[in-house]
Amino acid sequence: MTYSLDIRLGGIVLMYVYSIDTTTVASVLGLSHRSLVRWYKHLRTTGNVLKANTKAKSSRWPRDMCAFVQTYVKAHPCFYFEELRYELRKRYRDTIGVSDATICRALRFDLKLTRKVLTKRARERVFHAKGEIMLAVLILSTATLINSSSSTKHQRTEDLLYVIMVGLQDIHRHM
């Protein structure tokens, strides 16, 4: 059970300043004798009534493994856990067990990559991929028109529309 700072200070003041017995203070304030002794000992060693700082949590994975996952995620924004697991097993065979739960925990807590961040990166990547495909279609259509042997303007327009439609079908097929 966690007690407020006022209760802690009250108990310690009664024991330390007024030299009242710990069993009396414990019964008056409704606290455990052990808690009072622990708080008093903590005050004598640290000079502070507040709880000790919790130690910083560190990653279970080695630093180079975390760095590899960070670069892998940046290079492949639209990755599957199976792909990442395969790459980790290939590089770090005996370092640590690599399950989906372990990868999720490492991404979320060690690398600070939430689902929201990952989906945003994937969406941006898909948007850029669509732009690259459209650029390829435009270049292909321009090359087709230049190399076209037809001389009429109407025929070239039809060729351009055909190439654009084929390119759009390719885009939808790859999505």
pTM: 0.43
- The predicted model gives 152-165 an average pLDDT of 65
Q: Which residue has the tokens 């008093």?
A: 40
What's residue 98's pLDDT? 80
CA of 77: how far to CAs of 38, 110, 120, in Å? 51, 18, 9
What's residue 46's pLDDT? 84
Closest listed residue to residue 123, CA positions, set 115, 135, 112, 111: 115
What's residue 40's pLDDT? 87
35 contacts 27 by C-beta, under 8 angstroms = no
Structure confidence by residue, pLDDT tens digits, 68-93: 988 988 888 777 778 888 888 888 87
What percent of the chain has pLDDT above 70?
A: 65
